[in-house]
Structure 1
Amino acid sequence: MLIALEEYKRLFRRAFFRDCAVRSRNAFMFIRETSLTDAELAEEEEGGYNPDLRPKGIITYIRGVPEFQPGNQWFISPQYGWETIVLGSALKPLDQSVSVERTAVFPSMDHRVYVTGSGPAYQDESLASMSDKTAKAGIAVTRGAVTRLKQLDGWLYGCGSGRTLFKRLDKGTWESFSQDIPRVPDERHVGSSEEGFEDFDGWSESDIYAVGGYGDVWHFDGKGWRQIPFPTKEPLKSVCCGGDGQVYISGYEGVTFVGRGDRWKKIFDGGISLGFRDMVWYEDRVWCTSDYGLWTIHEERVGVADVPPTVAACAGHLSVGDGVLLLAGYSGAAFRERGAWQQIVSFHTMETLLDAEAHGRG
């Protein structure tokens, strides 16, 4: 593993990963959240505390850089009082990771933004304050919850509920692409806001697919939107624009479709407890994950990923970039590079070592 016991005690005791992002092959980012004991969970419930406000940290792991040797490779930026955090990375205008607060429940919570990477870390202006500072003045950056951040052509893009798509241009500067797409509640759920977007992906800034809601699929060509006729009205959760030129879209209980434009076919009937939270293209296939496992899609066949058990245990969130596939979840983190997996941290293994240390064993 790539972490010492003392570092684990400082950073990860009673914790899990909520999200991850590859900033570069030498810099991995994680969102760390606190795991509560049964007594603490009961206290939280009795007190009516919002579980989304549990203590969090933005973790950076640096490898392969001479000035960052073992014992000086892990860094944390604590975030107290933040809602759930969504994590992404960008190369433009600078090599940075960007963390955005997912929801805006209270007046003081308005999609806060934290930036790390090139130059000093800083808290940027919130998305809610950007409505008059976007490249298209007067357009709100987001219409609701921020659900996903991804990199396209080196730039950070994000999507969210209310059919939101936006781009980060620079410090305190964002651009919205939602002004030309209607926000209309799905016909089957009048009065709700269950139109997309849960996820988006693209081959470039002028070829983007965004999905969500109840069969709500749209294509953006960099200038305008077109709604895509889709063969299901079930909830959609994730999308991947593959290296094979196909679009993979998955939804409720993992049901999965492949196609492009107006032509789609189902390749997986689903039936799994949790649908695929993340879908990414790496090497020659799609990788899919949820808290319950890791799968691949190869030649239109969906199957459980053939990986070591210690890697499978890290299922939860996926990120890909700079030749690296990063996996992180409730049990730890691992990455794949040049055809081989490397364990970063196993929470179970480290807790076992701590237990042995406490009892004078090993």
Structure 2
Amino acid sequence: MAAYSDSGASAEIPRHFKEGRKEIMLITVEEYKDVLEKYFVVDCAIRERNIFGFALDRVFSDKEVEEEERNKWDRSLRPKRLAVFYRDDAEGERLGAENLGNWGPLQLGAMTVPTSQFLLYESHEDRVYVIGSGRDEFENPIDPRKNPDAPVHAGVRRIKTFHGKAFLAGGYRGFTERLGPDSYRSHKTLVGGYPLSHPESGREGFVDFDMFSETDIYAAGGKGDVWHFNGSAWRQIQLPTNAWLNTVCCGGDGMVYISGYEGLTFMGRGDNWKQINAGGIYLGWKDMVWFEDRAWATSDNGLWTIKDGKVEFRNHLLPSEISVCSGNLYVADGVMLMAGLGGACFRENGKWHSIFTAGQMGKLLLDEAK
């Protein structure tokens, strides 16, 4: 397995590339062709240190797009897959996939409590699908329009793992902890908000959340809508902005980082906040996590870090096989996983490791076809 420093130095010569390259991938061309060739990563999760999951959406050819437009098909309902990478398995046997059909947008998470499984949420039909540890099954829909006992108000926007447990946040200030199959500890009655029919209800969170502990949780979304849970009650936090918010990260430095439109970022805790980034980042960040000694934030356009209140663009400091993987982040069990349109990689013990890059796999497939 190759190891990469932040400077891009490689410790090994690759197996899957032409002589002279400094790149290695942990899946084979055959695995890529079978599972990933016509798909791209829309979300990722870590079940355990050596088991990674990828929610995949189908790439359509120009001809397929024309047919889609001609028939007025919903492009969000293209075929989906769930791919699982087992890095401890033998080379050539590390990647498998489950075909999901024409599903809507996906959110992927994982847990080891009470069972080691991936948890997949699909927004079109509000499906909940779990897989792992010898089980593969649907659970009850998680939207109250289809399930009166659903633990959130409407949909799921984020799934994260904390101490092996899965926590979920969603629209209209929804927040819940998964206890087991079809079992949740819901916060629906604890968080205030407008009735769902109220015209202002769509301006509320939550889009993201993070926690220092289960009695110290921050959640945000909507137009400057930030809330804190102290173990018994939620209260609204006055963040000095009315911008749409995207990400929340509780840092190992004791600070909370909240970002919004175009990367507008605040750092603080409780009722004390300061702006540390004015924005200007195209579309802002999709994910923000704490790993090692800093916050990491990503979008499809790159990777940034925040340390000591300083925001830094990282792409030029990373090997190309790492920087192209920007898009989604997930942290669990001592590993940070990053995956997106260009591929997937992970960081562990201060080193980067490339799982695959779509560009290099495409070149290898062209070479095979010659």
Deviation at 1:191, TM superposition (A): 4.3
Q: Partner amino acid for 2:367?
A: A
Q: Equivalent residues in 2 for 1:135-146 (5 A)?
A: 140-146=150-156
1:11 corresponds to:
35
Asked if 1 retains the 8 angstrom alpha-carbon contact of 2:193 and 2:201, the reply is: no
Seen in structure 2, the aligned counterparts of structure 1 residues 197 and 145 have a Cα distance that, compared at 3 Å, is: same
Q: Which residue, 324, 331, 355 being the options, matches 1:344?
A: 355
Give the secondary structure class of the aligned counterpart of 2:31. helix
2:44 corresponds to:
20
Give the secondary structure class of the aligned counterpart of 1:211. strand
1:50 corresponds to:
74
Give the secondary structure class of the aligned counterpart of 2:135. coil
More moved, 197-206 vs 259-268: 197-206
Q: 1: distance between equivalents of 2:116 and 2:144?
A: 24
1:75 corresponds to:
96
Seen in structure 2, the aligned counterparts of structure 1 residues 129 and 122 have a Cα distance that, compared at 3 Å, is: farther
Q: 2: distance between equivalents of 1:141 and 1:163?
A: 11
1:296 corresponds to:
305
Q: 1: distance between equivalents of 2:189 and 2:70?
A: 43
Q: Which residue, 238, 248, 251 being the options, matches 2:247?
A: 238
Q: Equivalent residues in 2 for 1:1-362 (5 A)?
A: 1-64=25-88, 68-101=89-122, 103-104=123-124, 109=125, 111-128=126-143, 140-184=150-194, 190-191=199-200, 193-305=202-314, 306-359=317-370
Write out per-residue CA displacement over residues 164-202 of structure 1, whole angstroms, 9 at most, x where no aligned residue: 00111111212210212222289xx94451210110000
More moved, 201-210 vs 115-124: 115-124
Q: Partner amino acid for 1:100?
A: Y
Q: Partner amino acid for 1:313?
A: V
Seen in structure 2, the aligned counterparts of structure 1 residues 168 and 248 have a Cα distance that, compared at 3 Å, is: same
Seen in structure 2, the aligned counterparts of structure 1 residues 131 and 176 have a Cα distance that, compared at 3 Å, is: farther
Q: 2: distance between equivalents of 1:145 and 1:52?
A: 16
Q: 2: distance between equivalents of 1:318 and 1:246?
A: 19
Report percent identity of matched pairs: 44
Q: Partner amino acid for 2:299?
A: S
Asked if 2 retains the 8 angstrom alpha-carbon contact of 1:185 and 1:193, the reply is: no
Give the TM-score taking structure 2 as reference length: 0.89
Could you list the runs of 5+ residues in structure 2 that have no partner in the other structure? Answer: 1-24
Q: Partner amino acid for 1:57?
A: R
More moved, 150-159 vs 276-285: 150-159
Q: Partner amino acid for 1:245?
A: G
Q: 2: distance between equivalents of 1:74 and 1:255?
A: 37
Give the TM-score taking structure 1 as reference length: 0.91
Asked if 2 retains the 8 angstrom alpha-carbon contact of 1:130 and 1:174, the reply is: no
Give the secondary structure class of the aligned counterpart of 1:180. coil
Q: Partner amino acid for 1:165?
A: F
Higher RCO (CA 8 Å, separation ≥ 6 residues): 2
Give the secondary structure class of the aligned counterpart of 1:82. coil
Deviation at 1:131, TM superposition (A): 8.6
Asked if 2 retains the 8 angstrom alpha-carbon contact of 1:209 and 1:219, the reply is: yes
Deviation at 1:139, TM superposition (A): 5.2
Deviation at 1:63, TM superposition (A): 1.5
Asked if 2 retains the 8 angstrom alpha-carbon contact of 1:131 and 1:139, the reply is: no
Asked if 2 retains the 8 angstrom alpha-carbon contact of 1:139 and 1:179, the reply is: no
Asked if 1 retains the 8 angstrom alpha-carbon contact of 2:286 and 2:327, the reply is: yes
Write out per-residue CA displacement over residues 324-356 of structure 1, whole angstroms, 9 at most, x where no aligned residue: 111100010011111111110111111111111
Asked if 2 retains the 8 angstrom alpha-carbon contact of 1:130 and 1:172, the reply is: no
Q: 1: distance between equivalents of 2:98 and 2:311?
A: 38
Q: Partner amino acid for 1:147?
A: R
Q: 2: distance between equivalents of 1:213 and 1:127?
A: 20
Write out per-residue CA displacement over residues 5-43 of structure 1, whole angstroms, 9 at most, x where no aligned residue: 111110011211000011111101111111111221222
Asked if 2 retains the 8 angstrom alpha-carbon contact of 1:274 and 1:292, the reply is: no
Asked if 2 retains the 8 angstrom alpha-carbon contact of 1:130 and 1:173, the reply is: no
Q: Partner amino acid for 1:36?
A: F
Q: Partner amino acid for 2:115?
A: L
